[in-house]
Structure 1
Amino acid sequence: MALAVSACSAAAPDAVVSAAEPPSLAAERFPRPQRPVAGIVSDQWANEDSRERAGEAARVIDLLDIRPGMTVADIGAGAGYYVSRLAPRVGPEGRVIAQDIERRTLNRLGQRVLRERLGNVSLVLGEPHDPRLAPRSVDLALLVHMYHEIAQPYGLLINLVPAMRLNGRVAILDVDGPVLAHGTPRALLSCELAAVGYREVAWHWIEGRSIYLAVFEPPTDPPKPERIAPCGAQ
């Protein structure tokens, strides 16, 4: 379900609701991940001031070569740390799609969008297995410090494919550590993405050898859900 927000609108974000994108493949068609799923404990990964001092967002945006006119989907946008930094980079001709599965989180983010007058931002209410994004609408999908919280990664990754434009990319920022410590081990990430046909095209270490930015190309012909071999816990 998409929540359309205009920086010029005086209405509350949750009062301006457009038609939902039709659901994609159902969650029960996909195998369950054979590893833990971290709980969602906050709508932000860390204090924004500390992240800003570390220069995290600026480095990630530069590494991904995000340019004016692009459409970037922030999957699991949370409190909007990246949304407020992506919006100026893509400019008035671009768009940021702020997606989350928690309506209350999106409502709070909508208030931030209005407060900061981010007129090129749309809010989308997704599901744990389905981002609910419009077909061929996204140049870059960005998942920041939340991959370990995805309850149905195979479903989300497969259902994300139709939303990606030609030459689109999926980028995942996470900690190279145990899932229950709110990280995703590199081997596990690579295995789960490969299991649904994604191809790794770049790997960057953001902070020492603990935080990484992994970039993938989505498959042109993803496997049928029943043919996906789940990866074991790592």
Structure 2
Amino acid sequence: MMAPARAAALIVALGATQAYAADIGYLAPPGAPAKEFPSPQRPVAQIVSPSRSAEEHRDSLNEAGEIARLLELKPGMTVGDIGAGSGYHTVRLSPLVGSTGSVVAEDVTRNYLIELAKRTERLKLTNVKFALGEPHDPRLPASSLDAAILVHMYHEIAQPYAFLYNLAPALKPGAWVGIVDLERPTSEHGTPIELLRCELSAVGYREIATHQLAGDGGYLAVFSPPEEAGRKSPRDIVACGDRAGTR
């Protein structure tokens, strides 16, 4: 039989989890449906963990600092942490953007967001919002982000063309998208840079710069989103083939 104190603690924890779950949902109406877009012509990696590697290791490489510096993230900005997972970047971006800015932690896995909400409460981070997304749509409000980062998760997006198309309206004029990944096949949890360039270009994104991060951090590719007036129709998007991504 379970001890009364332990049973009471479990009831409290369950109630807290249910409360967090009730606060986490879609922040915007659905965008264009997945069926209107081509599917990727390469493997999609499975989501296996909310974190890429130990945070201490990532801190030793100054991963968060380098990305923030290269993307020129500043106080007052609203930054989307797309595929936030356990929140490595969310909790580091929060103090950077400050009380006049905010971080939108987006993920398609609800339980990751629930755990991240608990983490931000423990850390007393009050400028973080949570957004449940779909594999083809981040479900973010129009013109809400000054920048978006997708860190070591692009290869896990099941419908990349639809996702990128539906992400674009959430970006303010002049916003940048920073994608961090490894130069390896998508089946091995990376994205060859030429494949990444092709897929983003297919949706109308324009490459600004590419940077090599320290250690095993991979690359940071920076893109500007397509302007609303010049955005392609979903039926005009042609999927990229990639031999490197299918090995």
TM, length-normalised to structure 1: 0.92
1:127 aligns with 2:98: no
Contact 1:177 1:210 in 2 (8 A): no
Change (3 A) 1:17 1:144: closer
Give the corresponding residue for 1:139. 146
Structure 1 residue aligned with 2:106: 99
Equivalent residue letter for 1:201: I
44, 66, 88: which is aligned to 1:59?
66
Note the C-alpha offset of 1:16: 2.6
Give the RMSD, CA atoms, in angstroms: 1.8
So what's the TM-score if we normalise by structure 2?
Answer: 0.88
More helix by share: 2
Q: What is the aligned partner in structure 1 of residue 240 from structure 2?
A: 231
CA distance in 2, matches of 1:89, 1:49: 19
1:18 & 1:177 partners in 2: Cα distance?
Answer: 33
Give the letter aligned to residue 232 of structure 1: G
Residue of 202, 210, 216 corresponding to 1:203: 210
* Structure 2 gap ranges (5+): 1-15
- The structural deviation recorded for 1:208 is 5.9
| Contact in 1 for aligned 2:26/2:139 (Cα 8 Å) | no
Please show how residues 62-73 of structure 1 align to structure 2 within 5 Å.
Answer: 62-73=69-80
| Equivalent residue, structure 2, for 1:110 | 117
Greater C-alpha Rg: 2
Deviations, residues 139-181 of structure 1 (Å, cap 9, x unaligned): 1010000000000000010001111101011110010111111
Change (3 A) 1:119 1:210: closer
CA distance in 1, matches of 2:216, 2:61: 15
Task: Find the residue that maps to 2:155 and give its secondary structure.
Answer: helix
Counterpart Cα distance in 1 of 2:109 and 2:96: 26
Q: CA deviation at 1:47?
A: 0.8
**Residue 33 (structure 2) aligned to one of 17, 21, 26:** 26
Which residue identity is paired with 1:127?
Answer: E
CA distance in 2, matches of 1:209, 1:107: 29
Tell me which amino acid in the other structure corresponds to 1:86.
L
* Paired amino acid for 2:238: A
CA distance in 2, matches of 1:131, 1:114: 23
Superposition pairs for residues 146-161 of structure 1, below 5 Å? Answer: 146-161=153-168
Q: Is the 8 A contact 1:196 1:223 kept in 2?
A: yes
The separation in 1 between residues aligned to 2:216 and 2:112, in whole angstroms, is 31
Q: Percent identity?
A: 50
Equivalences, count: 226
Shift of residue 64 of structure 1? Answer: 1.0
Distance 2:220 2:20 in 1: 31
C-alpha contact 1:12 1:111 (8 A) present in aligned 2: no
Amino acid at match of 1:36: P
Q: Structure 1 regions of 5+ residues with no counterpart?
A: 1-8
Per-residue CA distance 1:35-81 (angstroms, 9 max, x = gap): 00001110001111111111111111111111000000000000000
